[in-house]
């Protein structure tokens, strides 16, 4: 029920003027529309599936890592168990399933090289090696000379005329003789007042005929 704001008389429903005093009746404000509250968002589908996939991937990675460590341990154990070490004087030989390693005295390494040594050069005590792996035999030895780099390089250029020669400057050079059966590499470098050079000889062993 509505009442007149001027005289307080009762107003007829839908009347725009008061029947008693004639005052205009203010229109009633429209009722505010009530918006329904949004429904709560549904949880994303497939979340649990994605989590499962991630966990599976992590499990696989961890499993591969563990398997790799176990395999590596087995291989190392097999190599250690199958290796044999023998010594004759200053010569130590280690035989493994993959090949052999000889720790030679320097003079023996010079003999095994099969390459002429620069006149007057002295073989160094350290750095000599004799390795045989997968049918490839490698011998290395280090030397020291009082002559210049140029003289040492010229000597080996004459010994291997078809070799590839690389020189970065007057203080070093590299000579590589790429014979298919016997690759010889000679690295020469100035070292203070002396010249140091290393000779490495790589030979592929011929397959044994039955």
Who wins on pLDDT, 8 or 162? 162
pTM of the model: 0.52
Position 141 pLDDT exceeds 50: yes
**Distance between CA 14 and CA 16 in Å, rounded?**
7
Q: Which residues, in sequence order, are CB contacts of 123 under 8 Å at separation 6+? A: 106, 107, 109, 110, 117, 141, 142, 143
Who wins on pLDDT, 3 or 41? 3
Q: What angle do CA 166, 171, 177 make, to 5 degrees?
A: 30
For 4-23, give one letter per residue: b (16+ CB within 10 A) or e. Answer: beeeeeebeeeeeebeeeee
pLDDT of residue 79: 42
Please name which of 184, 175, 140, 139 lies closest in space to residue 157, comparing C-alpha atoms: 175
Question: In the chain, how many H helices and how many E strands?
Answer: 3, 10
**Distance between CA 105 and CA 90 in Å, rounded?**
6
pLDDT of residue 25: 65
Who wins on pLDDT, 78 or 141? 141
**Distance between CA 200 and CA 115 in Å, rounded?**
9
pLDDT of residue 152: 94
pLDDT of residue 117: 92
Other beta carbons less than 10 A from residue 186's beta carbon: 26
Query: pLDDT band for position 108 (50/70/90)?
Result: confident
Average pLDDT over residues 107-120: 86
Q: Enumerate the domain spans of the chain.
A: 82-204
Token pair listed for 70: 């176990």
pLDDT tens track for 16-54 = 777 777 666 665 555 555 555 656 555 555 556 666 666
Query: pLDDT band for position 180 (50/70/90)?
Result: confident
Q: Which helix (H) or strand (E) holds 173?
A: strand 172-178
Other beta carbons less than 10 A from residue 149's beta carbon: 21
pLDDT > 90: percent of the chain: 19
Please name which of 161, 156, 122 lies closest in space to residue 142, comparing C-alpha atoms: 122
């Amino acid at each position: 029920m509505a009442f007149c704001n001027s005289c307080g008389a009762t107003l007829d429903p839908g009347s725009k003027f008061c029947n008693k005093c004639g005052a205009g009746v203010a229109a009633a404000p429209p009722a505010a529309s009530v918006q329904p509250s949004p429904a709560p968002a549904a949880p994303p589908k497939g979340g649990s599936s994605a989590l499962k996939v991630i966990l599976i991937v992590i499990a696989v990675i961890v499993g591969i890592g563990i398997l790799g460590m176990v395999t590596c341990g087995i291989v190392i154990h097999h190599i250690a168990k199958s290796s044999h070490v023998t010594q004759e004087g200053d010569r130590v030989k280690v035989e493994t399933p993959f090949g052999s390693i000889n720790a030679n005295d320097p003079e023996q390494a010079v003999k095994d090289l099969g390459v002429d040594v620069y006149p007057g050069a002295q073989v160094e005590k350290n750095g000599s090696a004799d390795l045989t792996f997968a049918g490839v035999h490698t011998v290395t030895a280090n030397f020291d000379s009082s002559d210049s780099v140029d003289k040492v390089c010229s000597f080996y250029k004459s010994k291997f005329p078809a070799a590839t020669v690389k020189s970065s400057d007057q203080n070093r050079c590299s000579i590589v003789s790429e014979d298919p059966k016997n690759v010889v590499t000679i690295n020469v470098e100035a070292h203070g007042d002396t010249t140091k050079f290393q000779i490495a000889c790589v030979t592929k062993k011929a397959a044994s005929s039955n």
